[in-house]
Chains A and B, each alone.
Chain A
Amino acid sequence: MHNENQPLIFEISKEGRIGYSLPELDVPEADLSSAIPAGLLREEPAALPEVSELDIMRHYTALSNRNHGIDSGFYPLGSCTMKYNPKINESVARLSGFADIHPLQDESSVQGAMALMHDLQEHLVEITGMDEVTLQSAAGAHGEWTALMMIRAFHESNGDHQRTKVIVPDTAHGTNPASASVAGFDTVTVKSGEDGLVDLDDLRRVAGEDTAALMLTNPNTLGLFEEHILEMAEIIHGVGGKLYYDGANLNAVMSKARPGDMGFDAVHLNLHKTFTGPHGGGGPGSGPVGVKKELVPFLPKPLLVKKEDLYTFDYDRPQAIGRVKPFYGNFGINVRAYSYIRSMGAEGLKLVSEYAVLNANYMMRRLAPYYDTPYEQHCKHEFVLSGRRQKKLGVRTLDIAKRLLDFGFHPPTVYFPLNVEEGMMIEPTETESKETLDAFIDAMIQIAKEVEETPEVVQEAPHTTVVSRLDETKAARKPVLKYVPKEQSEPVAVN
Chain B
Amino acid sequence: MKHRYLPMTETDKKEMLGTIGIESIDELFADIPEKVRFQRDYDIKPALSETDLLKEMTALAAQNADSRSHASFIGAGVYDHYKPVIVDHVISRSEFYTAYTPYQPELSQGELQAIFEFQTMICELTGMAIANSSMYDGGTSLAEAGTLAAGHTRRKKLLISEAVHPEYRDVVRTYAAGQSIEVVDIPLKDGKTDEDALASMIDGDTAAVMVQYPNFFGQIEDIGRFADMAHEHKALFVVSANPLALAVLTPPGKLGADITVGDAQPFGIPESFGGPHCGYFAVTEKLMRKVPGRLVGETTDEEGRRGYVLTLQAREQHIRREKATSNICSNQALNALAASVAMTALGRQGVREMAIQNISKTRYAIEAFKNAGFDVKFKGPSFNEFVVDFKEPVGQVNRRLLDSGIIGGYDLGLTYPELQGHALIAVTEKRTKEEIDAFVQEMEAIHA
Contacts and interface: CB of A to CB of B under 8 A. Distances in A.
A405 B344 contact: no
Interface stretch (B110-118, B197-205, B438-446): B110-118
B398 A106 contact: yes
Contacts of A126: 42-44
Contacts of B331: 139, 282-284
B114 A322 contact: no
B160 to A, nearest CB: 14
A325 B105 contact: no
Interface in A34-52: 35-37, 39-43, 45-51
Given A63-B113, A101-B65, A470-B300, A343 B168 contact: no
Contact of A138 (B101, B137, B322, B363): B137
Contacts, number: 709
A305 interface: no
Most buried by B among A28, A46, A47: A46
A59 B116 CA distance: 14
A348 interface: yes
A331 interface: yes
Interface string B112-137: 01101101110111000111011011
A476 B311 contact: yes
Contacts of B344: 9, 19, 48-49, 51, 56, 59
Given A46-B351, A410-B104, A493-B288, A26 B32 contact: no
B19 A362 contact: yes
Interface residues of B, number: 206
Interface stretch (A203-211, A447-455, A460-468): A460-468
A306 B432 CA distance: 37
Contacts of B138: 326
B414 to A, nearest CB: 9
A299 to B, nearest CB: 12
A5 interface: yes
Contacts of B104: 68, 401, 405, 410-411
B298 interface: yes
A61 B90 CA distance: 7
A27 B360 contact: yes
B302 interface: yes
A127 B271 contact: no
Contacts of B307: 467, 470
Interface in B1-57: 1, 3, 5-8, 12-13, 15-17, 19-21, 25, 27-33, 35-38, 41-48, 50, 53-54, 56-57
Contact of B348 (A45, A182, A331, A378): A45
Contacts of B404: none
Contacts of A174: 316-321, 324, 329
A interface, by DSSP: helix, strand, loop or mixed? loop
A469 interface: yes
B295 A27 contact: no
Most buried by B among A105, A282, A321: A282
Interface string A46-76: 1111110100110111111111111110010
Nearest to A63: B110
A346 B42 contact: yes
A172 to B, nearest CB: 9
Interface in A279-314: 279-286, 300
Interface stretch (A223-231, A236-244, A384-392): A223-231
B357 interface: yes
A181 B111 contact: no
B94 A85 contact: yes
Given A36-B359, A345-B46, A472-B309, 18 more contacts: A6-B109, A9-B344, A13-B347, A20-B84, A39-B224, A68-B95, A70-B99, A90-B92, A100-B271, A105-B398, A109-B64, A177-B322, A230-B33, A278-B98, A329-B274, A332-B275, A467-B105, A493-B288
8 contacts: A32-B356, A42-B248, A75-B100, A257-B37, A350-B41, A358-B20, A366-B19, A494-B285
